[in-house]
Amino acid sequence: MVIAIGFEGSANKLGIGIIKDGVVLSNPRHTYITPPGQGFLPKDTARHHREHALSILKQALEEAKIKPEDIDVICYTKGPGMGAPLVSTALVARTVAQLWRKPIVAVNHCIGHIEMGRLITGAKNPVVLYVSGGNTQVIAYSQKCYRIFGETIDIAVGNCLDRFARVLKLSNDPSPGYNIEQLAKKGNKFLELPYAVKGMDVSFSGLLSFIEEKAPDLIAKGEYTPEDLCFSLQETVFAMLIEITERAMAHCGSEEVLIVGGVGCNKRLQEMMEIMAKERGATLFATDERFCIDNGAMIAQAGWEMFRTGVTTDLKDTTCTQRFRTDEVEVTWRK
């Protein structure tokens, strides 16, 4: 029996989760929400994490009904992410590791998403679409490595949605992407937008510039409503994502597909993926906002897998890095 606690703070969510051999005991989270039209800045986000770290930690322990001495391993997000928030969260992890005299494991954030998705859905060897505010990747496991088959060549899909939400001055509560999704449900007039798929890679920056420039005018003239534009944006970017995922599945001969990351809880994306998967005779695995969106348990789960195969991190190496690719990690826990 191994109990792992995970600290996640790579972006605007601070999450601390406790996992006992694949069972989530607790997973509280606090999100830093900025006013409409604004994104989150590193130093303010770090301040948010510092302010809430102790209360969330207390809540995690209480909900799990365990004492610090029951914990076997401390896991924290090493990267990728924003520097200041990463460092402020890692500091808490390092401190409790020394206070409680427990081993510590540095975890790659993306691997956390993948392992949590596999744990929750039971997917065996899926092609993974990892979509969030900072990442857009199509990943498949091969030879001790999560290989990136396709990715964005500029901005992430979540970033594209968030920035369009800022143009429309949508609320950031609970998240800009969620509010775009709600508006999109009411849209029906389709605006054709630039569609950029190159092999298994995608590009969103051209599309974003296009819609950012046109939107105010189209809305002012009454040609399109904000709902129509959200609808058109979602339909286009999601079609691009499904297309590259399908291509990767065809390439790998895979019959499972897993969606992870914050954008992964978008119901329309899941619906489109489901249609594609059905047509290919494949199965879709997806999770809800508890586990799609950044959380502590996913870091605990990936750390638990690493710890199980004998991986720990020396205290002097418990640093953070803003750039940490998914394919840099040796996957010791899978055949």
Partner 1 sequence: MKRVLLKQGAEAKLDKCSFYGKPCLVKERFKKKYRHEVLDRTLTTQRIKSEVRAMIRCRTNGISTPTIFMVDMESSSIYMEYVEPSVTVREFIANSQENHAGDAPLLALAEMIGRVIGVAHKNNIIHGDLTTSNMLLAPPNRSPEMPFGGNLLDEDPSSLELVLIDFGLTALEGTAEDKGVDLYVLERALLSTHPNTQHIFEAILAAYRSYNQQGAKEIVKKLDEVRLRGRKRTMVG
Task: Provide the annotated binding site for substrate.
Answer: 130-134, 162, 177, 181, 266
- Rounded CA-CA distance 245/285 in Å is 13
DSSP three-state, residue 138: strand
The annotated binding site for a divalent metal cation is made up of 109, 113, 130, 294
How many Cα atoms are found within 13 Å in the side-chain-facing hemisphere of 251?
18
Q: In the complex with partner 1, which residue's Cβ is closer, 279 or 314?
A: 279
- Rounded CA-CA distance 216/168 in Å is 8
Q: In the complex with partner 1, which residue's Cβ is closer, 33 or 200?
A: 200
**Radius of gyration, CA atoms only, the chain:** 20
Min dist CB 62 to partner 1, Å, is 26
Q: How far is the CA of 161 from the CAs of 40, 130, 186, 242, in angstroms? A: 15, 15, 17, 16
Q: In the complex with partner 1, which residue's Cβ is closer, 92 or 148?
A: 148
Q: In the complex with partner 1, which residue's Cβ is closer, 3 or 299?
A: 299
Min dist CB 146 to partner 1, Å, is 11
Q: Is the dihedral of CA 294, 291, 257, 2 positive or negative?
A: positive
Min dist CB 282 to partner 1, Å, is 12
Per the structure block, which two tokens stand in for 294? 């950044």
Min dist CB 327 to partner 1, Å, is 9
- Rounded CA-CA distance 287/156 in Å is 20
Min dist CB 98 to partner 1, Å, is 25
Which chain residues interact with partner 1 by CB under 8 A?
8, 10-11, 77, 79-82, 109-110, 132-135, 142-143, 147-149, 151-154, 156, 190, 192, 195, 197-201, 235-236, 239, 242-243, 246-247, 249-251, 272-273, 275-276, 279-280, 294, 322-325
Q: In the complex with partner 1, which residue's Cβ is closer, 166 or 247?
A: 247
Q: How far is the CA of 53 from the CAs of 19, 230, 239, 274, in angstroms? A: 18, 35, 38, 38
